Amino acid sequence: MQRLAPLALLLALADGAAAQCDRLVREHALALPLSNFLVDDKAPAWVADFASLPNVLAGGSARTNTFSLLNGAAPVSLISVARVMIASEQGTNRYFGLNYAGEWIPLQLQNPPAQTIYGQDVFGFYGDGAFHFFNVWERSWTSEAISVSVPLIQEGRSSICVVDGTDSVVGFSVMGDRAVRLSLPPDPTRAIVPVLGSAGETLTRRNLQAFEIGPNQIAFFSTYLSRWDILTTQAPVPGLSATYNKNTMILADFANNLVHLYSAHRGDFVTLTFTDLMQVAISSQDNGIQLEDSLTDTRHMFKAIDGGVTSLPSALTSSTGVLFQNDCAAAGKLVGSGPDEEWYAVSTKVRTSTWTPAGLQSGEVVLAKKGNDSTIVLVTDRALYGFSGMSGRWTRSPYVGSYVSSGAQDFIAWVLSDTTAYVFSTREDRWVSRPMNAQTALTDTDSLVILTETDPATSQPISRAVYSAESRAWRVQALQGPLFAQGRDNTHVYSIHDDASTGGSIVYFFAGLADRWLVASVPTRIDASTKLAVMEEGLVIATPTGVLSFQAFGDLSSDHSAPIDNYAYHAQGNAPVRFLATGQPNALAVLMASLGETSLSLGFCGALRVDPLSPSFLAVPAGAYDAQGVLRLSFRIPPTPNALVKLQMLGVSATTVELGQLLDFQVH
C-alpha cells in the first residue's frame, strides 16, 4: 500500500486551484415534474414516479446525493416501499434494486420468483434454482445455487440464511460481498432448523442467526463478520432456553447451571458457570448481557465487543437504581449503610471497560438519572455527570441555576436549568452550555439538541442553535421570513421560510453528520402542493425542474454508521468495512486518516481536518471517482480498538484540488 508523506501532501494542497468539496445540496434535473416521492423514512434511498411515464422511475440516495433514472421496457413499479427499494418490470421477470449510490441494479430471472424475502435492511428472491440477494452497498446481485426446490429461508435485520437440504446452510450479509456456505458432513437424517427462543429483538431486527445442526450443536451466522461459527453444548439444544437480542444471544442450560453468551461482534461465545442458575436474573440489550446473581449479591455484565465479563459486588441488596441501555449500563449503590450513594457505569462496546465510579461527593443528592443507547446522565444538587458509551468514561461539570429537566438520546444528552441548557457530547466526553431565555425552546433527536428562539411578537422562529453528536461547537443559524414548514429527524433539522424578496422560499437544513448549516434559495415558493419527503438522513423537495436534495452526511460515509440509530452498526478491529465518497467526477482520490484532529485553513482549498503531523497520520491513494463523482472503498479495519479515527478525502484533478469533510469513524 502506497503512502503519501505529510510534506508532499501539503505541497499538493497548496498548488493549483482548490476548493472545499461541497455537494451536500444538489438539484437533480428532470424533464418533467414528478408525481410522488416513495420513501421509507429510515433509509437514505428515495424513489420518484411520473404519472405520464409508467416505464420510468427516478432513484436517489442521501448518502451520495446522486440519482439515476430507471427506463424500463415496460411499466415499472416498486414491489413495496421499504428500506430496500426493489422495482419490478411488468411481464418480464426483470427486477431492479436501488443501491446507496442511487444506482438501479438489474436482475433477470427466467421465471417469477418462488419466494420473496424482506428483512429490515436486506432483500432476496428464491427462483430459477438459486437465491438472489440484493446488497444496498454493491453494484450487482449475489446469486447462489440452491439444490432443494423449497428451501427454508430465514431473514434477519441485515442477513438472510437459506437452508440447502440436510448438509448445508448459506448466509448472506449486508456487511459481506459474497454468499458464505457452511457445509456439513453428509447425514440424510439431519434437520437444520432455526433455534427457537424468546425475542429481546424480533427476527427481522437481529444481526445474528442460529441453527440447530445436531443434537448438541448450533451454527451461528454473524452479520458483522459474514461468518459461520459452531457451538457444542453440554445439554441437547432443545433443552436450552434461548433469548435473542440484536447482537447477542443467551443460551441458558439450567440442568447444568451453565449459560452460553454469544456475540455477533466476535462470532464466538463465552460460557459461565453459576452455583444455581435459577437464582440468576438474566437480561440483555443490543451489546450487553446482564446477570444478577442473588446468591453472591453481584451484578455481572457481559460485553459483546470483547467477550469480557465485569462484576460489581454488593450490587443488588444496596442498589439505588439501574439504567441498562443498548451500549452501556449504570448502577447505583449505597455507600456503607447510606444515605450517600455512588453510581458505577460500564460500556459494552469499549474493550476492557469495567464498572467505573462517577465520583459523587459525600452528601451529594441525586435529583435525576436518565439513559439511552450510548448515554447516561446523573443530575445531583451540585453537579452534572455524563457517561459515554463511546469512550467508557464519566465527565463531571458544575451547573448554575435550579434543575428543571433532562433527557438522554441515543448519542447525546441534555440538562436544562432555569437559566442554561447543558449538552453532554458522548464523542468528546465534555459538557457544553448555552444560556436560555423565555423565548427559547429545547427539542432533541437521537443525535441532536436544538434550541429554537422565537419572536415574542409573532411567535415565528428567528434562530436555531444546534449541537450534534459530531459537533465541536454550537452551530447557530438566523432564520428569515415567515415559516412555512419545519421538522427534524435523527440526523438533521430543517426549516422552510417564504422569501419576500424573491417570491420563492429559503430552506435552512442542519446536516448533523457534516456538522454544518446548509441554506438554499428556491425561486418557486414551496407551498402545500409541493411534494417533499423527509428521511432519517436527508430531505428531498420537488421543484418545477427537478429534485432539490439535502444530505445529512458529508462527502464520506460508511456501512458502519453509528451514530445513526437505525444503521448503528458498530465498527470493530479486523472486520470488513465499506465507504462511499463523493467528489469531482474522474478526479484522483486520496484517503487521509489520523487519530489527531486539526483545522488548518488552506485558502480556497478549505480546511484540512486530519492532523498531518500526528504520528498516526496516513494518506493512501484510493483510486478515482467515477463519472458520477462516486468512489467506493473497502478494506479490513486494522486492529485499533477504542480509537476515534479521523477520516478526510482529497480529490485531485488537472485543474482543481478538493478537500472533503471530516468523518469521525469510531473503531471499538
pLDDT value of residue 2: 45
Mean pLDDT, rounded, for 540-569: 86
Q: Pick 492 or 9 by higher pLDDT.
A: 492
Mean pLDDT, rounded, for 73-88: 95
CB atoms within 10 A of CB 236: 13
Q: What is the amino acid identity at position 486?
A: Q
Query: Which pLDDT band holds residue 23 (cuts at 50, 70, 90)?
Result: confident
> Quick one: which of 548, 427, 446, 438 has its CA closest to 491?
446
Specify the residue for cell string 447451571: 257
Burial class (CB in 10 A: 0-12, 13-18, 19+), 319: middle
- The contacts found for 353-362 with CB under 8 angstroms, 24 or more apart, are 353/303, 353/308, 353/310, 353/392, 354/310, 355/301, 355/310, 355/311, 355/312, 355/331, 356/392, 356/393, 356/394, 357/394, 358/385, 358/387, 358/394, 358/396, 359/385, 359/394, 359/396, 360/385
pLDDT value of residue 563: 63
Mean pLDDT, rounded, for 6-33: 62
Query: Phi, psi at residue 452, to the nearest 5°?
Result: -110, 125
Percent of the chain at pLDDT exceeding 70: 95
Whether 192 contacts 213, CB under 8 Å: yes
CB atoms within 10 A of CB 436: 20
Specify the residue for cell string 453494484: 139
CA-CA distances (angstroms) from residue 2 to 255, 288, 411, 590, 622?
A: 57, 39, 36, 11, 10
Q: Does pTM top 0.75 for this prediction? A: yes
pLDDT of residue 12 exceeding 50: no
Measure the CA–CA gap between 615 and 611, rounded to whole angstroms. 9
pLDDT value of residue 1: 37
Q: Write out pLDDT tens, residues 485-525.
A: 999 999 999 999 999 999 999 999 999 999 999 999 999 99
Measure the CA–CA gap between 170 and 219, rounded to whole angstroms. 11
Specify the residue for cell string 415567515: 482
pLDDT value of residue 635: 86
Task: Give 124's strand partners.
Answer: 117, 133
Q: Which helix (H) or strand (E) holds 67?
A: strand 66-71
Whether 562 contacts 666, CB under 8 Å: yes
Measure the CA–CA gap between 109 and 116, rounded to whole angstroms. 13
> Quick one: which of 163, 133, 142, 167 has its CA closest to 151?
163
Q: What is the amino acid identity at position 187?
A: D
Measure the CA–CA gap between 156 and 124, rounded to whole angstroms. 12
Burial class (CB in 10 A: 0-12, 13-18, 19+), 188: exposed
pLDDT of residue 373 exceeding 50: yes
CA-CA distances (angstroms) from residue 118 to 244, 312, 430, 530?
A: 19, 42, 41, 31
Q: Write out pLDDT tens, residues 337-363.
A: 889 999 999 999 999 999 999 999 999
Task: Give 545's strand partners.
Answer: none
∠ CA 77-78-80, nearest 5°, is 145
Provide the grid cell at 132.
438472489
Gyration radius (Cα) of the chain, Å: 26
β-pair type (17-20, 656-659): parallel
Measure the CA–CA gap between 350 and 552, rounded to whole angstroms. 26
> Quick one: which of 157, 103, 102 has its CA closest to 538?
102
pLDDT value of residue 562: 66
Query: Phi, psi at residue 12, to the nearest 5°?
Result: -65, -40
Query: Which pLDDT band holds residue 10 (cuts at 50, 70, 90)?
Result: very low
β-pair type (607-610, 576-582): unpaired
| Cis upstream peptide for 188 (omega within 30°) | no
pLDDT value of residue 7: 37
Measure the CA–CA gap between 361 and 542, rounded to whole angstroms. 57
pLDDT value of residue 80: 86
Provide the grid cell at 657.
484540488
pLDDT of residue 15 exceeding 60: no
Q: What is the largest CA-CA distance in the chain?
A: 80
